[in-house]
Amino acid sequence: MNLNSQATLTTQLHHRSIRAFTEQAVTAEICDALLAAASSGATSNFLQSTHIIRITDKHKRQQLREVCANQAYVESAPEFWVFVLDVARHSMLVENTQTDWAEVGIMGAIDAGIMAQNVLLAAESLGLGGVYIGALRNDMVKAAEILALPEKTVPLFGMCLGYPAQNPNMKPKLPTALFVSENTYQAQDLNAVAAYEAQVKAYYVERGAEPATWQDAIAKTLCKPVRPHMLPFLQQQGLFKR
């Protein structure tokens, strides 16, 4: 495999979510490279509790688009991958596995996040773009049905990949002063928060959108029940019971 990729730090510092893609296909060679990057990530206790499902069937893409808040790029992106927490394999291979502990599910979710970030970073270094699709969890029962998932597996999120057909500005992220402490947890500096919110508002205004803030995003997501069907589904799948 001989692919030209840009430097890691350069790639990381220029990350943007891409939601519009050209029709150019992602080659088998690049897909193989992305999967190699996926498998190279750290994994809790060497459990390797992630399963990737590459969705190439057009009907399944359409069905998953409906699950994912009808986001068109789920169906139209050259590649759509689903990252699954998978401890079914472990129970098949080893008798008496206790996979219903909360810690097992947390380890699996961490593994999936690490693996997915490796995939996206590698993709961006090769000139592709992508976006995470957390809306896959809007109807986990339906997603699991579409993917024919067995017990002890959970569809965590999707990822669209392809060559960018847009060039969006980078969204301002929290400055280090607001998420880094030394030795003990330090309360938020409200002056730093206010300065950050001004940056976020300017970003949205530049995009021609309403001048929303980070605190608006917090309120929109956390001031109401957050996917209350999650815990029953997880427990139905034999996870997070204790």
What confidence score (pLDDT) does residue 143 get?
98
What confidence score (pLDDT) does residue 207 get?
86
**Tens digit of each residue's pLDDT (9 = 90 or more) over 193-211:** 999 999 999 999 988 888 8
What confidence score (pLDDT) does residue 58 get?
97
User: Is residue 19 a part of any domain in this protein?
Assistant: yes
Q: What is the pTM of this model?
A: 0.95
Range of the domain at 197: 171-226
C-alpha 55/C-alpha 73 separation (Å) is 13
Same domain, 58 and 164: yes
Same domain, 67 and 164: yes
**Tens digit of each residue's pLDDT (9 = 90 or more) over 31-44:** 999 999 999 999 99
Q: What is the DSSP letter of 130?
A: E
Question: In terms of DSSP bridges, do strands 153-162 and 129-133 run parallel, antiparallel, or are they unpaired?
Answer: antiparallel
Is 112's pLDDT higher than 90?
A: yes
C-alpha 141/C-alpha 147 separation (Å) is 10
CA distances from 58 to 18, 108, 159, 223 (A): 21, 29, 16, 36
Rounded (5°) CA angle 98-227-145 = 65
User: Is residue 238 a part of any domain in this protein?
Assistant: no
Total structural domains within the chain: 2
User: Is residue 55 a part of any domain in this protein?
Assistant: yes
In the predicted model, what is the mean pLDDT of the chain? 96
| Contact criterion met (CB below 8 Å) for 69 and 59 | no
What ranges make up the beta strands (E) of the chain?
Answer: 50-54, 79-86, 129-133, 153-162
2-11, 69-78, 105-114: least confidently modelled range: 2-11
What confidence score (pLDDT) does residue 1 get?
65
Same domain, 164 and 175: no
For the chain, percent of residues with pLDDT exceeding 90: 94
Mean pLDDT of 70-87: 98
**Tens digit of each residue's pLDDT (9 = 90 or more) over 124-171:** 999 999 999 999 999 999 999 999 999 999 999 999 999 999 999 999
